[in-house]
Amino acid sequence: MSATTEAVTLSAVREGEACSKEVCATPYALRKRPFVRVIGVVIGVPLAPIVLLLVLLVRLTSSGPGLYRQRRVGLHGEEFTIYKIRSMRQDAETLSGPVWAAKKDARVTPLGRFLRYSHLDELPQILNVIRGDMDFVGPRPERPEIVEDLVPLVDGYQNRHVVLPGITGLAQVNLEPDQEIECVRKKVAADLHYIENASLYYDLRLLSATILRVLGLRYQHGARLLRVTLPRSIRGGAQQPNKCQPAEVSRPDMLDDTVAVQALCDTIVDRSLGSLIDDEIAARSEVRVPR
């Protein structure tokens, strides 16, 4: 991206423009903020005891605070503080600085692995929704240091800030976590597609797909079941799959509902069998200590 193009994009975002040469947000995406905050209060009250319990468990199992605060870039490029339940060691980025989390990240605590897998570490972000910093559905917010590095490398990156960032989104239910720049480009394309097509029905389907992912449904199956897969232009058509692409990209956009439901059943059965096998191995490997 040239310096001139970047400057124009940043200026448009900071002035709060809903449209640019590359993206134009729907009226729904721009006007839902007050209603989302009210829903946040309704949902946040019953969730508060669960969040407090998880914060206490984190405090008891590792040193450091249970609640984690981090600066993120939100609407119109403004920074805000995001809240999460801490899943890493307190000194996780002392030497490395701000970096993306990786699979099997050694910085993640044992309890943190469960919190990340179940996405329970994201629950405190309901407070961000109540405060008006975030939405339930929208582009996932990134840290200022990483945004600064990505703007010159990814065309249209700043355009994703014309709407509120979200706890979940189109990219989150279809793509795996970022590992390289090509992953970011796909996520930005997904975010811009959502911004231009946002609606209440779209949000409800994305939230439902997110719940299926939390319950353990494998990547893509929930999105296919609820018709929120990425457009073929973003997925890359029939290109060879790689670690940044959703699983089974060569399959048709529409998957029969029975297949998606069967995939959910397979996931639950696989997880149950795996748990039983692990318990059996642990029981047989116990060493009896003589009295």
Mean pLDDT comparison of 18-32, 178-192, 236-250, 254-268, highest-scoring range: 178-192
Write down the pLDDT at residue 220.
74
Encoded tokens for 185: 């480009």
**pLDDT(6) > 70:** no
* Per-residue model confidence (pLDDT) at position 260: 47
pLDDT of residue 103: 54
Better-predicted residue by pLDDT, 147 or 105: 147
Q: Tokens 């509120």 correspond to what residue? A: 164
Report residue 226 as tokens.
């609820």
Mean pLDDT for 248-268 is: 43
Q: Report the candidate in 193, 263, 258 with the shortest Cα–Cα distance to residue 228.
A: 193
Characterize the bridge pairing of strands 166-168 and 67-73: unpaired
Percent of the chain with pLDDT over 90: 49
- Rounded to the nearest integer, the mean pLDDT of the chain is 77
Helix 181-197 with 200-214: angle, nearest 10 deg = 140
Backbone angles phi, psi at 201, to 5 degrees: -65, -40
Band (pLDDT 50/70/90 cuts) for residue 249 is very low
Question: Which of 26-30, 61-65, 161-165 is predicted with the least confidence, judged by mean pLDDT?
Answer: 61-65
Quickly state the pLDDT bin for 112 (edges 50, 70, 90): confident
Q: For residue 79, what pLDDT band results from cuts at 50, 70 and 90?
A: very high
Q: What's the confidence (pLDDT) of residue 19?
A: 58
Does the pLDDT value for residue 1 go beyond 50?
A: no
* pLDDT over 70 at 268, yes or no: no
Could you tell me the pLDDT band of residue 111, with boundaries at 50, 70 and 90? confident
- CA-based nearest residue to 169, from 197, 207, 200: 207
The ranges assigned to domains in the chain are: 3-278
- 244 against 53, higher pLDDT: 53
pLDDT at 132 over 60: yes
- pLDDT number for residue 217: 78
